[in-house]
Amino acid sequence: MRHLVFFAFALAAAVAASAAPFVPRSGSEVLETLPRRAAAPDAELRRQRAQLSEAPRDASAAAALAQRYIEMGRAATDPRYFGYAQAVLAPWWRTPSPPIPVLLLRATLLQSSHRFEEAMRDLDAVTRADPANAQAWLTLATVQVVRGDYDAAVRSCGRLSSLASDLASMTCLANARAASGQLAASERLLALAVERSNASVADAGLRTWALTLSGELAARRGDTPLAEARFRQALALAPADSYLLGAYADLLLDQGRNADVQALLGSHLRIDGLLLRHALALQAAAASSPPAAAAVAELQARFDAAARRGDAIHQREQARFELYLRHNAQAALRLALANWQVQKEPADLRILLEAALAARVPTAARSALAWRRQRGLEDRIIAALAGKLEGGPA
């Protein structure tokens, strides 16, 4: 769209320089018809839209188009496409028992907006009705890991062993076990899965996930060189993957490599989480610089807009923003605690402990620390934070 807007302004400027202005007779008058792009993906999308337009209650056509929008949203890290997908599924959105493909896509969209309880209800329904649905088991395991229900996630991953590739099932299992006292074993399992997978045949998305997770586990152990090597391998496959870019940027931030963070993320600042990390790097390099101030102002505007929409899915990022860019430890702690009620990944625990320390309210982290001990979560930085809050070695 920006390219078309730029073209329109350039065309208008050229015409204005050589002729009197043309005034349309009405707002509906067509001034110019631009040629359609001939790319195959665009043609396929138009075909799917036309098919659904002819039969708007065709669940198969709706599911195919919604799936396409979800794929486009993930590729561009643009949540608007998820909205398009939900609009396509509108006839079935509030239906208790829609067709299985629609039910799975609805769960995927609910999960993307952190409506985990609703997503899990849909996923449970899919797996009961279609026990051989590998995508449903994988999505269910992912939600269970985010919520900290690792035993259930292991069981869900186990169902994949006969339904999906070794790379998918082993990566799923490593992801579930890594946060419950089995970090080293999970890392070995991942290394084996990547080694066994044929890079020329394996799904690039799965391989990217496996390599990214491997990098995260190495970082949690404190093996920065290995973590960076894994992240770079993944970036060769998916240079615009926003989750991967965020994980790699976090590793660089922990090493104080702020210039590398800026270089890594400079062309990805449309994404809130990556703009946050870019701003953290700018501030660490020169807190009072105009670029740092501009990045902070832009982030504040985005968080304010999200609040007006009732969007609370970025509480972890907003807690980091409040703690390290606005230096408001109390606000950061409130956000981190609210976020902890919804999701329990290592990054969620880390920002909660950091905020509790900065706010000098160690009791606020008491239940999270107990949760960490019970699960056996292994993470070098989290262990150091826990030691400070508990007044002794972790």
pLDDT of residue 393: 53
| CA distance linking residue 37 with residue 35, whole number of Å | 6
Q: State residue 10's pLDDT score.
A: 28
pLDDT at position 52, please?
80
- Tell me the pTM: 0.84
* Domain layout of the chain by residue ranges: 57-130, 149-239, 241-300, 312-394
Q: In the prediction, which pLDDT does 35 show?
A: 41
Question: To 10 degrees, the CA torsion angle through 282, 285, 290, 291?
Answer: -30
Angle, nearest 10°, between helix axes 116-129 and 100-112? Answer: 160
Spatial contact of 338 and 352, defined as CB atoms under 8 Å apart: no
Q: Which of 31-35, 80-84, 166-170, 197-201 has the lowest mean pLDDT?
A: 31-35
Please state the rounded mean pLDDT for residues 72-83.
81
Name the DSSP class of 13. H
Token pair in block for residue 345: 């990944």
The helix (H) or strand (E) run that includes residue 108 is helix 100-112
For 312, residues 6+ apart whose C-beta sits below 8 A from its C-beta are 114, 306, 338
Got the DSSP string for 113-149? Answer: TT-HHHHHHHHHHHHHH-TT-HHHHHHHHHHHHHTT-
Q: Containing H/E element for 100?
A: helix 100-112
- The pair of structure tokens assigned to 36 is 């359609």
Question: In terms of Cα–Cα distance, which of 151, 149, 105, 101 is closest to 129?
Answer: 101
Report DSSP letters for 156-173, one per residue. HHHTTTTTS-HHHHHHHH
Alpha-carbon distance values, 142 to 123, 183, 225 (Å): 11, 17, 27
Tell me how far apart the terminal alpha carbons of the chain are, to the nearest angstrom: 52
- Residue whose entry in the numeric block shows the structure tokens 């790379």: 167
Average pLDDT score over residue span 57-76: 87
For residue 333, the one-letter residue type is L
CATH code of the domain made up of 149-239: 1.25.40
pLDDT at site 6: 26
Cβ-defined contacts of 330-339 (< 8 Å, 24+): 330/359, 332/358, 332/359, 333/358, 333/359, 333/361, 333/364, 337/364, 338/312, 339/315
pLDDT score of 48 more than 90: no
Mean residue pLDDT across the chain: 87
Helix and strand totals (H; E) in the chain: 21, 0
How far apart are the C-alpha atoms of 186 and 205, rounded to whole Å? 19
Q: How far apart are CA 353 and CA 337, in angstroms?
A: 10
pLDDT at 1: 40
Helix (H, G, I), strand (E, B) or coil at 37: coil
Please name the amino acid found at residue 73.
G
Q: What is the pLDDT of residues 146-180, one digit of tens each?
A: 999 999 999 999 999 899 999 999 999 999 999 88
Q: What is the pLDDT of residue 44?
A: 80
Q: From residue 26, how far is each of 23, 30, 40, 385 by CA, in Å?
A: 9, 9, 35, 65
**Beta carbons within 8 Å of 158's beta carbon, 6+ residues apart:** 173
Q: What is the mean pLDDT of residues 232-254?
A: 96
**CA 362 to chain centroid:** 29
Name the E strands within 2-50.
none
Distance CA(255)–CA(269), nearest Å, equals 21
Contacts of 4 by beta carbon, 8 Å cutoff, 6+ apart: 34
Radius of gyration over alpha carbons of the chain, in Å? 24
User: Nearest Cα to 326, choosing from 307, 290, 299?
Assistant: 299
**What percentage of the chain carries pLDDT values higher than 70?**
88
